Structure formats: structure tokens, C-alpha cells
Amino acid sequence: MNTIKKFSTRTLVLTGMLAAVAGVLMSFEFSVPMMPPFYKVDLSDLPSVIALFSLGPWPAACVEVVKLLIKLVTVGTNTMYVGELANLLGIALFVVPTWLIYKKLGKTRKAAIAALAIDLPIRIAFSCFLNACITLPLYAKAMGLSLNEVVMTVGAVNPLITNLPLFIILATIPFNLIKVALNYFLGYLLYDKMKDLRMFKGGMPAC
């Protein structure tokens, strides 16, 4: 009973710490050249990657949810809550496939790398569907514009984007590739460096 209680307390504390860091990181966004102004890159998935491999899927999901709440309370939204909705919907597409693959392959370093590599195209494919069918229409409605008008405003930064399919190909795919790959790569490197710390022991095996 004491062991279970200690583990639960440890998990709760670490989850809270990682969620707080994620919330702060989400507030530091930067734009990518030739991308729509509402596409912002942040490094807030780093703590989620660490949580997933060191604590498990539920703490990782909690980190993702709490960071959104922290960001909304402290900074607010610059996308009429559409960006936050997209992040919320993407949680399952990160946690579930990555954890299942990681667990299936034996929870090793190679398993972690493989899980993140396989989940990357899943996240990108999901983002294409999400942008075309949900987030862009909602963003257009929130801004009082038509979907075509939103797409055309992007032409100011990338004249090659003239319709929705080109928006997906030239903006959504490269943006998510940059953002997700950067977060996964740095998140894995950080966890690999931190795994030997006492508070994170019990995560990935050595090989």
C-alpha cells in the first residue's frame, strides 16, 4: 500500500511539474517563414514526450490537457480557440499510437525512436484532415470570413497557395513536419539525458 501511495504521489508530482513546464513553453511561440500567421511553432510537446516514456500514457495526456488550460488562463488565445481545439484533438493521436508501439516493441530506446517515427506521419495525416474539415472552417467562421478568404489571405506570405489543397500541401504538411519532428527529436533527447535521474528511473531500459 505504501509503495502504491508513493508511486501515485511521485507520478502526480512529476506530472504537475511537466505540465507546468509545458504550459510555459506553449506561451513562447514563433512563426515560420512562408507559413500562415496563425501557424505558430512551440516546444510544449517536449514535456509530454518525457511524461509518456517515464510515467505512461495517462500522465502524458494530462500534461497535454493542463498545458492548454495554463496557456488559456495566462496568455489567452490568438486563434479564436481553434488552435487550442486542434491541440486537444491531437492528444489521442500522440499518446495512443506512440504508447502502443513503444509497449509492443519492448520499451527500449529503439522502441521509443520507432514509436515516435511511426507516429509522426500519423500526426501529419490527422492534421491535414483536421485543418481541411474542422479547424480552418471554424477559424473562418470565428473571423467572419469564408474559407476561401482565409486561404487567400495566406497568399500574402506564400503566393503559391491559392486554394485549400495547396494550403494543405504547402502549409499544413511542412508546418506540422517541422513542429512535430522538432518536439519529438528534442523530447527524446531530453528524456534520454534525464532517464538516469532518480525521479525518472523506471522508464526506458538501457537498450
In a domain, 138, yes or no: yes
Does residue 105 or residue 132 have the better pLDDT? Answer: 105
How far, in whole angstroms, is CA 69 from its chain's centroid?
A: 14
> What's the whole-model pTM score?
0.82
Return d(Cα 182, Cα 116) in angstroms, integer: 11
157 lies in a domain? yes
Compute the distance between CA of residue 17 and CA of residue 193 in angstroms, rounded to an integer: 17
In a domain, 207, yes or no: no
User: Which tens digits make up the pLDDT trace of 140-157?
Assistant: 887 788 888 888 877 778
Tens-digit pLDDT profile for residues 8-21: 788 888 999 999 89
The mean pLDDT of 93-100, rounded to a whole number, is: 89
Q: 105-119 pLDDT, tens per residue?
A: 998 889 999 999 999
42 found inside a domain: yes
The predicted structure's pLDDT at residue 24 = 85
171 touches 177 (CB < 8 A): no
Nearest-angstrom CA–CA distance, 132 and 177: 17
Domain ranges, residue 182 = 2-200
Residue 76, exposed/middle/buried by CB under 10 A (0-12, 13-18, 19+)? exposed
What is the pLDDT, as a whole number, of residue 198?
58
Residue 183 has pLDDT above 70, yes or no: yes
Residue 78 banded pLDDT, cuts 50, 70, 90: low
Per-residue pLDDT tens over the stretch 24-69:
888 788 888 888 777 888 898 999 999 999 899 999 999 988 888 8
In a domain, 205, yes or no: no
Q: Would residue 100 count as lying in a domain?
A: yes
pLDDT at 3 over 50: no
pLDDT of 126 above 90: no
CATH of the domain at 189: 1.10.1760.20
Closest by CA to 191, choosing from 118, 109, 115, is: 109
Domain count, the chain: 1
In a domain, 85, yes or no: yes
Q: What is the pLDDT of residue 83?
A: 67
- Give the CA-trace dihedral at 3, 59, 65, 88, to 10 degrees: -150
Confidence of residue 80 (pLDDT cuts 50, 70, 90): low
Give the three-class secondary structure for 147: helix
Torsion of CA 11, 14, 20, 26, to 10 degrees: -90
Is residue 206 in a domain?
Answer: no
Q: What is the pLDDT of residue 2?
A: 43
Which residue intervals of 28-81 are DSSP H helices?
A: 46-54, 57-74
